[in-house]
Amino acid sequence: MGYFDVPDRSYTRYSNRQLAAVPLAVLAVALLVLTGTFLMTGAPVPLGMDFAGGSELTIQTTSSQEEIANAFDEEPESIQSVSAPDSQNQYVIQFTSTDLESLSQQAEQNLEQDGDADIVQLQSTVSGSFGKQTQRTALLGVAVAFVGMSVITFLLFRTFVPSIAIVLSAFSDLVIPLAFMTVADISLSLGTVAALLMLIGYSVDSDILLNNHILRRQGDFYESTHRAMRTGITMTVTSMAAMLVMGIAAGLFGVELLSSIGIVLFVGLAADLMNTYMLNLSLLRWYKFEGVRS
């Protein structure tokens, strides 16, 4: 017999407090990380060029990365090698400065040219004020999506405990990846904001699936849990595998944005497994066996 053939094998061993303790402790640590980072730097997570402003140069040069870093008066925020067959010796360099003309001149004067190609091949800049406006718009989008999800959840279930369980799980699914981004030094950009929006959708899918099976379908609590887990875990683990492959492959080819999106989604989906089948489930079990009678 497989593990899923005996759905209550593990859950009956632990009380609701024990099941909820682990995800709540992880959430508390994540909030501490974000709060500490905000107090030290003024932002809970590192801000990418989309939000902080700055300049980006894409150059083709035979110089090493160390020589590239020393070629500019300002220390680059990041230097990424572009690993593609048609872009050998290309690097994407980001700066906090928006003086693109000066940076381009320094690149042309201090870096060795690769064949007949121009040293500066692509350049872009984002002003600080525009970055702050973009940041406000992106965060407003995340907030509106979260609030909208919460309202729809309460309208669907019309009871406090099952609804708040979904909202709390979704909140944790956002906070934990944000804390991971801080620890792993992954910048918040338009791409990673899109990943956070996707996580809201993933979280709601798995939590509503669990709540529907337990609250609205026939069968005892553990049979309903078994059916929901069989579908939900398969769905989430498959998505995790896809995101991990994307993150690793994009990292190997030097596509930093796709790599960041894949890793953030992988961490968020792993958090969703924990929050759905420990935190949400413990609240639902309390509601079914104790909350309804109280």
Per-residue pLDDT reduced to its tens digit, 69-87? 888 887 777 777 776 555 5
Residue range 34-40: mean pLDDT, rounded: 93
CB 213 within 8 A of CB 228: yes
Bigger pLDDT: 290 vs 214:
214
Please tell me the predicted confidence (pLDDT) of residue 265: 96
The model carries a pTM of 0.82
Is the pLDDT assigned to residue 115 strictly greater than 60? no
> For position 165, what pLDDT does the model report?
93
Q: What is the mean pLDDT of residues 14-43?
A: 93
Least confident of 32-46, 101-115, 169-183: 101-115
Least confident range of 126-135, 176-185, 213-222: 126-135
Phi-psi region of 131 (alpha: psi -120 to 50; beta: other; left: phi over 0): alpha
Maximum alpha-carbon separation in the chain: 79
- Please give the pLDDT value at position 8: 47
- Average pLDDT on 53-71 reads 79
Phi, psi of 151 (to 5 degrees): -65, -45
Residue of higher predicted confidence among 177 and 111? 177
Report the chain's mean pLDDT, rounded to a whole number. Answer: 83
Helix (DSSP H) and strand (DSSP E) numbers for the chain: 10, 4
- 4 closest CA partner among 270, 283, 277: 277
Predicted local confidence at residue 127, as pLDDT: 65
Rg (CA), the chain: 23
- pLDDT beyond 50 at 7: no
Q: Is the pLDDT of residue 20 over 90?
A: yes
For the cut 50, the answer to whether the pLDDT of residue 294 exceeds it is: no
Alpha-carbon distance of 155 to 176, in angstroms, equals 26
CA atoms within 13 A on the CB side of 206: 32
Predicted confidence band of residue 114 (pLDDT cuts 50, 70, 90): low
Alpha-helix runs per DSSP H in 42-118: 49-52, 65-70, 100-110
